[in-house]
Structure 1
Amino acid sequence: MDLYQAQRCGQVDYNAEGRDSKVGKGLVISDERFDSGVDSLKEDECKSVAAELERVSLSATASEPRAASCGEAWRTEINEDGDTYLHLAIIHEATEYATKMIGLSTGDPFLNTQNYQRQTPLHLAVIMDQPVLVARLLRAGCDPQLVDDEGNTALHIACKKGSLACFSVLTQTCHSSYLPALLKSTNYSGHNCLHVASLHGFLSLVENLISLGADINAQEKCNGRTSLHLAVDLQNLNLVELLVTKGTDVNRLTYGGHTAYHLTYGRNNNAIQKRLYDLTSPDLRELPESESEDSEVEEEDSQSEDDMIYDDIQLMG
């Protein structure tokens, strides 16, 4: 039984550290929105969309000539958010209509249409936790490497949401040549999928990403932190233990010259500090020179000297 089959009855990874009672699923890192038209339509507008989908002619089947349906409105019309009828069918879980449109569009660039947030139908299928549609979109030719306006691929979104089912479909159904690139791809915050899963504490996804070939020591683009650094930032002991077990390099430095152990200074979780102290190379346990107490004293002395100079100027004035 593969991962998808094993998770069909529980599509979200609840194996996450640092739960927030206000959100229920994972640790909230930011207030960024992943939805497009998901919340943009009111109830009466939803009914209008449903009526329009009913009106649209989708009587053709995938086996009939494509030319017969090429002029249909559902291929060309978009709403104020840039959503096509396929986007809207996915958003409103009109699975029957979405399936018909996907079947009629196999190999067609229509499947990769991006709305004004640059979301493809594949992005929205992951957002809406619809793994069956994710699989159909991929098999019909939807490109999993396309990114939204925050640089997120569909796999990034699955890792943020903790959707094991969508994650499984994306990694198992997409062409094998895509997977290495997807694992390395970073969004506009500089995070790859392993970083995203780590930030949200989804341990099962972290473990699966590593087993699929994700670089456990990859550094995010902003500060050069690895997933281990992020785990310390979040004070997630379980994640630290998982990464250590999987062979993470505890001596890897950020762009500022800090090991993960350095980030334990001033933090409350003594268990993390003790665990990393035992593993960190002795010559890397001290904070870098610029962060030492001596440098702070020197900075204070320097500020005092500057104050004296300005005092002299004021007196002379």
Structure 2
Amino acid sequence: MEQCAGSGGTEPGHGGLGKLQAWEPGAADERCESACDSAYGSGLLESFSSRCSLAESGGDEAAEPAEPEERFEPWSYLSDEGDTFLHLCIIHEEERLALAFISQSETAYLNWQNDLFQTPLHLAIYTQQANVVRQLVLKGADAGLQDRNGNTALHLACQYGLEGCLRALTQPASAKELALVGCNTADVLATQNLERHNWQGLTCLHVAVLCRREEIVQQLLETGAKINTQDATSGRTALHLAVELGEAGLVRRLLRAGGDVDAPMYNGCTPLHLAVGRLDAPLAAALYQAGADPLRPNLEQETPLDLANSNSVLELWPFDDLRLRGRPVM
């Protein structure tokens, strides 16, 4: 499976977590290809209870007394790659043990970042453990922390089309959840920053569009993502990206949601400039009918109409009713 264009390289998880491949559309029920194989085998988790107590010395009285095994302290454990014991529980999908640790952990422990700057929350997204994701955020884990690629847990959930994990990150706490975490406020979940850019300058909405995740796009918009936020590299909005991909369904969805049809990039190009440049007549028609201005110049003083004329495909574009000072342009 190919990685979605422009969403950023996926960082292998720590302790030998294999390369994650982006999901194809419709593959939301498949497991991420993330071979969560720690250099510290799962035997460490399986033998946890026995390692938490001193080994009893036994055998023949005449035998040399066995030295007691050193007590294993999971709270102070840290692997060579910077993983805490909770990181390893999540990597090996030991959910019950992970939830037990989360329930007793201080916030600083929950937000520990390994050598790849991955928190337990990042790894819970990679391994699709929505229940663990939910418990982490209810306990105060910071969903805004960024990994080595600048991706938050929200970016990753959008990239891989994990609707359940996205809901776990963003839904308000229910009365039952409030009772379980011992809190009497409805603001247990801090407002998520949906506008944070990763190191490629992309917000969660940009990533969802680039990965063609229509349902994730809708979920983000309903959660409060700003539809006209520009990327940090070229000033493209989600609508620009959808036009560049030739995704008519996403373009229509974004237009219905209030996408600015004349939003300029840093070079002044609007979505209509891009549609005309791609020789995409259906998208140009959709944008024009939505109110796009065919006479709006970019920084080089070229209008979409100029581009259509220079491409010798003017007859393809739906500008036949265009008037300038009351007179038809064509």
TM range, smaller chain: 0.7 to 0.9
Residue from 186, 193, 197 that aligns with 1:182 = 193
Normalising by structure 2, report the TM-score.
0.70
Task: Tell me if 1:133 matches 2:128.
Answer: no
Task: Give 1 or 2: higher helix fraction.
Answer: 1
Q: Is the CA contact (8 Å cut-off) linking 1:139 and 1:173 kept in structure 2? A: no
Q: Is the CA contact (8 Å cut-off) linking 1:219 and 1:225 kept in structure 2? A: yes
Q: Secondary structure at the match of 1:183?
A: coil
Per the alignment, residue 109 of structure 1 pairs with 108
Identity %: 34
Letter aligned with residue 232 of structure 2: K
Q: Is the CA contact (8 Å cut-off) linking 2:7 and 2:207 kept in structure 1? A: no
Task: Tell me if 1:276 matches 2:287.
Answer: yes
Q: Is the CA contact (8 Å cut-off) linking 2:234 and 2:266 kept in structure 1? A: yes
Per the alignment, residue 22 of structure 2 pairs with none
Normalising by structure 1, report the TM-score.
0.72
Per the alignment, residue 219 of structure 1 pairs with 230
Q: 1:168 to 1:110 in 2, by over 3 A?
A: same
Count matched residues.
258
Q: Is the CA contact (8 Å cut-off) linking 2:7 and 2:159 kept in structure 1? A: no
Q: 1:47 to 1:170 in 2, by over 3 A?
A: closer
Cα deviations across residues 50-109 of structure 1 (Å, max 9, x unaligned)? 345354439xxxxxxxxxxxx96222222222111110110111112112211221x342
Residue from 232, 237, 247 that aligns with 2:258 = 247
User: Which has the larger displacement, 166-175 or 227-236?
Assistant: 166-175
* Shift of residue 202, structure 1, vs aligned partner: 0.9
Per the alignment, residue 90 of structure 2 pairs with 90
Bigger relative contact order, structure 1 or 2, given CA contacts below 8 A and separation 6+?
1
Letter aligned with residue 202 of structure 1: R
Per the alignment, residue 236 of structure 1 pairs with 247
- Inter-partner Cα distance in structure 2 for 1:226 and 1:160: 17
Q: 1:34 to 1:157 in 2, by over 3 A?
A: farther
Q: Secondary structure at the match of 2:146?
A: coil
Q: Is the CA contact (8 Å cut-off) linking 1:26 and 1:202 kept in structure 2? A: no
Letter aligned with residue 168 of structure 1: R
For structure 1, list consecutive stretches of 5 or more residues without a partner in the other structure. 1-21, 59-70, 298-317
Residue from 13, 26, 44 that aligns with 1:35 = 13
Cα deviations across residues 102-132 of structure 1 (Å, max 9, x unaligned)? 1221x34211111001111111111111010
Task: Tell me if 1:49 matches 2:49.
Answer: no
* Shift of residue 192, structure 1, vs aligned partner: 1.2
Cα deviations across residues 231-259 of structure 1 (Å, max 9, x unaligned)? 11111111101001111111010001100
Q: 1:49 to 1:267 in 2, by over 3 A?
A: farther
* Shift of residue 195, structure 1, vs aligned partner: 1.1
Q: Secondary structure at the match of 2:193?
A: helix
Q: 1:177 to 1:133 in 2, by over 3 A?
A: closer
Q: 1:79 to 1:274 in 2, by over 3 A?
A: same
Per the alignment, residue 215 of structure 2 pairs with 204
Q: Secondary structure at the match of 1:184?
A: coil
- Inter-partner Cα distance in structure 2 for 1:144 and 1:125: 12
For structure 2, list consecutive stretches of 5 or more residues without a partner in the other structure. 19-34, 54-70, 174-186, 311-330
